[in-house]
Amino acid sequence: MKHLPAALCLVILSSIGLAARADTPESMPVQALDAALLATMKAGSANASFQSRYDALDPVVKASMNLPVILQNSVGFLWSTLPAEQQSELAIVFEQYTVASYINGFSGYGGQKLELLPDERDVGTKKIVETQIVSPDGTAPVRLDYVLTNGDNGWQITDVLENATISQVATQSSDFSALVSSGDASKLIAALKAKVATLSGGVLKD
């Protein structure tokens, strides 16, 4: 099972630069997440504890990302067959998994920049906010785009696209599908708990 998000865990950022552009409601969650990830990286380089980084990042991830929608879309059509108790347990462990994956992937502070690009794309009622990761060594920037949906809590991230095309939700759906059957997500819950324990070095566990 890949870390969430898979593309983000491949890159260690160290500073964030925002392209000159007017702020829009849909870009604000992306900027908030970027700023929180920068703080996470700085904290990691300062040898802050995993728990302190988790406590700082968790509320920003919950506010900027619609984790319930991401989880339901990742599980797919079998979500509605799961008992309420398993849905609740999955929501808790998926949140831990998401935040722990970010902390694990953004654990150091170097010389790259994450730039918010000036263009946005419309896909039906959704918006795609484009960013790029710029390395100080002069290699080609890496595109990382965010799909945002306007819901009860305003605009929130509901998918991440690596190289503007590879969907995080689709990747997770492929990983999760083998671990969920109609009415039973116990294997997925166990797998996510194991991942959380590994990513957090045992800090987050049952």
Instruction: Kindly report, residue by residue over 59-107, the tens digit of the pLDDT.
Output: 999 999 999 999 999 999 999 999 999 999 999 999 999 999 999 988 8
pLDDT given at position 111: 75
pLDDT given at position 206: 67
Is residue 68 classed as helix, strand or coil in its secondary structure?
Answer: helix
In DSSP notation, 108-125 reads ---S-EEEEEEEEEEETT
Answer whether residue 173 shows pLDDT above 90: yes
Handedness of CA 151, 156, 161, 164 (dihedral sign): positive
Q: Enumerate the H helices of 76-166 as residue ranges.
A: 84-105
What pLDDT band is residue 4 in, cutting at 50, 70 and 90?
very low
Between 163 and 129, whose confidence is greater? Answer: 129
The pair of structure tokens assigned to 201 is: 């070095």
- Contact between 18 and 115 under an 8 Å Cβ cutoff? The reply is yes
- Contact between 115 and 132 under an 8 Å Cβ cutoff? The reply is yes
Answer whether residue 15 shows pLDDT above 50: no
pLDDT, mean over the chain: 86
The pair of structure tokens assigned to 181 is: 């059957």
Residue whose entry in the numeric block shows the structure tokens 């996510």? 192
Mean pLDDT to the nearest integer, 109-115: 77
Answer whether residue 190 shows pLDDT above 70: yes
Q: Considering the chain, what percentage of its residues have pLDDT values greater than 70?
A: 88
- Contact between 26 and 126 under an 8 Å Cβ cutoff? The reply is no
Distances (CA, A) of 112 to 16, 37, 66, 147: 8, 13, 27, 23
pLDDT given at position 142: 79
H/E segment holding residue 188: helix 186-199
CATH label, 8-199, candidates 3.10.450.710, 3.30.390.50, 3.10.20.30, 3.10.300.10:
3.10.450.710
Closest CA to 94 of 79, 77, 81, 80: 79
What pLDDT band is residue 47 in, cutting at 50, 70 and 90?
very high
What pLDDT band is residue 12 in, cutting at 50, 70 and 90?
very low
For residue 157, report the phi and psi dihedrals to the nearest 5 degrees: -75, 130
pLDDT given at position 114: 76
What pLDDT band is residue 14 in, cutting at 50, 70 and 90?
very low
Mean pLDDT to the nearest integer, 151-175: 93
pLDDT given at position 11: 36
pLDDT given at position 46: 94
